[in-house]
Structure 1
């Protein structure tokens, strides 16, 4: 979802006509090259199983943008217990599933603009209506991602994140 204006990138110095308001990871941090050939592994747009014993759903970490009626979104993967993953699957197409209580999960995506690592941050996963990805609530700690989710970020910070992700340092 772009904003109404672009930005001059501090990484490349060029003007980008739109400010990206979301970034997503294609797979959990634990998905390795070759896992797609394992008969007990599966990766779809919304669900992942690795070797039949690690279970993940794609979700959203939403960060309020200060002074705006919008959020910046990280598309992330969160690990769930086998029981919670099975329950999510049972309710995948069920109207009213958003009334389910939130479940515990481990953040399973490395968001490269944060130090320390975001992998294995404790979360609560909130199911949304059918057709919407779950929303992740990061445990309220002093980790920079948790702080940003609690306090929000400025558009300047959004542009800083965009520049870093559009032009990763090798």
Structure 2
């Protein structure tokens, strides 16, 4: 890696910058087909499918041990109807940061992992208004959960950038 970018192991070129954040536009279950169902919508921070399945956007933060910033995955988590309604009820309330965490299922397929990330158990921690919730993964042996606990290196951040640049499961 250089100050202006990194030397790509896929194509050999030097690419400018190294992204430390990726965001998925929708839960893995969202499609044009479900978009037409009654009671379905996809908005910036929430998604509902058929008035039955409820999702919110959050952040999985992976500490980067050899850098001054962390990697953030913008992901979607499913919540029970009761917890989803509670989040809506306190959405603009500054006291929402004190809410207990909500149980959820990771609803995003992240690239760069040998095992699927969809349906990992999570705890969603609300933050103050204007800040997306933090997603804590259940402390299992899944590589994503291990990376959240133990951190990653800049070399791993570069792997994600190469996946994005060369469309190998775009982040």
| TM-score, scaled relative to structure 1 | 0.94
The residue that corresponds to 1:146 in the other structure is 145
The residue that corresponds to 1:155 in the other structure is 154
Q: Distance in 2 between matches of 1:7 and 1:69?
A: 17
The residue that corresponds to 2:163 in the other structure is 164
Partners of 1:11 and 1:164 within 8 A in 2: no
Q: Distance in 2 between matches of 1:89 and 1:166?
A: 36
Determine whether 1:103 maps to 2:79.
Answer: no
Cα deviation 1:14-68 (Å, max 9, x = unaligned): 2111100011111001112222222310101110000110000000000000033
The residue that corresponds to 1:74 in the other structure is 73
Q: Distance in 1 between matches of 2:5 and 2:47?
A: 34
Cα deviation 1:58-87 (Å, max 9, x = unaligned): 000000000333210001000000000000
Cα deviation 1:117-146 (Å, max 9, x = unaligned): 000000000001100100000110110000
Alpha carbon RMSD of aligned pairs, Å? 1.5
Partners of 1:24 and 1:75 within 8 A in 2: yes
The residue that corresponds to 1:34 in the other structure is 33
Deviating beyond 3 angstroms after TM superposition, the runs of 4 or more aligned structure 1 residues are none
- Paired residues in the alignment total 168
| TM-score, scaled relative to structure 2 | 0.93
Give the match's secondary structure for 1:34: helix
The residue that corresponds to 2:6 in the other structure is 7
The residue that corresponds to 2:87 in the other structure is 88
The residue that corresponds to 2:44 in the other structure is 45
Once the two structures are TM-superposed, the CA of residue 10 in structure 1 deviates from its matched residue by 1.4
The residue that corresponds to 1:126 in the other structure is 125
Q: Give the gaps of 5 or more residues in structure 1.
A: none
Once the two structures are TM-superposed, the CA of residue 5 in structure 1 deviates from its matched residue by 4.2
Q: Give the gaps of 5 or more residues in structure 2.
A: none
Q: Distance in 2 between matches of 1:169 and 1:123?
A: 26
